[in-house]
Amino acid sequence: MALSCSSLCSRLSLIRLCGLRTNRITHGLYSPYLSRQSRLPLCRHYTSSKVRRGIGRYVATRLQWANEKYEGFLKRRFPRFFLLYHTFVEGFKLLYRDAKDVRRIKAKMLSDGVKFQDLPYREMEKLRRFRRDMIKAIPLVVISVPPFANYLVFVLMYFFPRQLLIPHFWTPRQQVEFRGIYHSLRARHHWPVLRGLKDTSRQVSNAQLQGCLAGLCAKVQSGATPKVSEILAVRRLFSGPPLGMRRMSVDHMRHISSLLLLTPRLPGFLISRRLNNHALELLQLDRALARLGPHQLSDAELRQACYVRGLNSDVLGVNQCREWLSQWLQVSSSLKDSEVSLLLHSIVFLAANYPNVLSRH
């Protein structure tokens, strides 16, 4: 237990007096030299830095006690506010820990010359998620800069947590609820994407590829999930015209952006560049996951990996998520960088009906 300031000072005075009495009894006279000699052990054991550390520990202990009392009061009298308060405290702890991890990863990349695509899966996913979270958090930070604006921000965060807060500050119940809402928003674009693909299939000159693409779209529209071989059979159409990353129509790219929860309200050339960057990042993430092995993921990591790739994993079992992710990796592991457009369309091919349930919203 840390010493209080008064008890510490009294002990110091007592030791000094004992030192002086010892000198008088032993040598009969008090000399400056002997006084310095008697005080040396005291200085070694009770330096000012140790006194500061003792006071610091005492203050920290008292603050922790006061905080526990305050949390107990909130939990008894205001349980709903306590849940919000506790979520915020834990969220800041998680955010601080993630920031330290990201700083460590980036320092390693700089010192060792490691590129993003060569990072382990978990470090790559950490960087990707942290960047997206910070982009969402920046407007809230800017709003809170003016004096007393933090009170307004707190009210806004209370009433609009999904729109303003990053997942660090969501309760477990909110995380499941908000992921379901976001999935329903992107599921609305499954059928416009399929209609766009069906219309585009009429422009394909190769009769065999035209039939494969039309049959693929018809199978998904009927409520079935196509096989990996059926998806890979049309890969040539997604490396150049008419469905290559930079060959799609702007309207079609807007629907694909919504599948990735990206804003479609941008000029066409920006949407194309942004889609290409996200598609390549997702492909690199799949390759890192294949190196790690999907069986190495925890249940939470497995559900998150499926959700990022377009599946509503919260309504599925762990084995179903593992099976679906295995099919996804079979597709992505067969693709080249020039065929990443097919990877984005696989969100519709593989996730629209899995597990064989129509997802028309």
**Looking at the structure, do residues 285 and 202 belong to the same domain, yes or no?**
yes
Instruction: List the one residue out of 214, 193, 357 whose CA is nearest residue 259.
Output: 193
Least confident of 32-46, 212-226, 310-324: 32-46
Does a structural domain hold residue 179? Answer: no
**Boundary of a domain, candidates 76, 111, 133:** 76
Predicted confidence (pLDDT) at residue 125 exceeds the cutoff of 50? yes
**Looking at the structure, do residues 244 and 283 belong to the same domain, yes or no?**
yes
**Looking at the structure, do residues 64 and 86 belong to the same domain, yes or no?**
no
**Boundary of a domain, candidates 117, 136, 168:** 168
Tokens representing 353?
A: 């009906």
**Looking at the structure, do residues 57 and 82 belong to the same domain, yes or no?**
no
**Looking at the structure, do residues 58 and 199 belong to the same domain, yes or no?**
no
**Looking at the structure, do residues 305 and 162 belong to the same domain, yes or no?**
no
| Percent of the chain surpassing pLDDT 70 | 80
Band (138; pLDDT cuts 50, 70, 90): confident
> What would the DSSP string read from start to end of 292-359?
H-GGGS-HHHHHHHHHHTT--GGGS-HHHHHHHHHHHHHHHTT--GGGHHHHHHHHHHHHSSTTT---
**Looking at the structure, do residues 190 and 304 belong to the same domain, yes or no?**
yes
**Looking at the structure, do residues 260 and 136 belong to the same domain, yes or no?**
no
**Looking at the structure, do residues 72 and 88 belong to the same domain, yes or no?**
no
Question: What pLDDT does residue 21 have?
Answer: 39
**Boundary of a domain, candidates 76, 93, 112:** 76
**Looking at the structure, do residues 192 and 66 belong to the same domain, yes or no?**
no
Question: What pLDDT does residue 293 have?
Answer: 93
Instruction: List the one residue out of 98, 68, 83 whose CA is nearest residue 170.
Output: 83
Predicted confidence (pLDDT) at residue 30 exceeds the cutoff of 50? no
Cα distance between residue 361 and residue 352, in whole Å: 11
| Percent of the chain surpassing pLDDT 90 | 59
Could you report the per-residue pLDDT of 168-208, keeping only the tens digit for each?
989 889 999 999 999 999 999 999 999 999 999 998 999 99
Least confident of 4-18, 79-93, 226-240, 300-314: 4-18
Question: What pLDDT does residue 139 have?
Answer: 80
Least confident of 122-136, 150-164, 229-243: 150-164
**Looking at the structure, do residues 347 and 203 belong to the same domain, yes or no?**
yes
**Looking at the structure, do residues 127 and 57 belong to the same domain, yes or no?**
no
Does a structural domain hold residue 200? Answer: yes
Could you report the per-residue pLDDT of 87-104, keeping only the tens digit for each?
878 888 898 999 999 999
Cα distance between residue 213 and residue 336, in whole Å: 19
Does a structural domain hold residue 357? Answer: no
Mean pLDDT, rounded, for 274-288: 96
Does a structural domain hold residue 96? Answer: yes
Structural domain boundaries enclosing 210: 186-351
Does a structural domain hold residue 124? Answer: yes
Cα distance between residue 217 and residue 195, in whole Å: 8
Q: Are 346 and 327 in contact (CB under 8 A)?
A: no
For CA atoms 81, 86, 88, 89, the dihedral sign is positive
Does a structural domain hold residue 180? Answer: no
Tokens representing 274?
A: 């942004």
Does a structural domain hold residue 117? Answer: yes
Helix, strand or coil, per DSSP, at residue 198? helix
Question: What pLDDT does residue 151 have?
Answer: 66
Tokens representing 110?
A: 């700089």
CA 23, distance to chain mean position in Å, is 67
Residue 199's contacts (CB-CB under 8 Å, 6 or more residues apart) are none
Higher pLDDT, 264 or 39: 264
Does a structural domain hold residue 49? Answer: yes
Number of domains in the chain: 3
For CA atoms 27, 30, 33, 34, the dihedral sign is positive
Mean pLDDT, rounded, for 74-95: 77
Band (308; pLDDT cuts 50, 70, 90): very high
Question: What pLDDT does residue 289 have?
Answer: 97
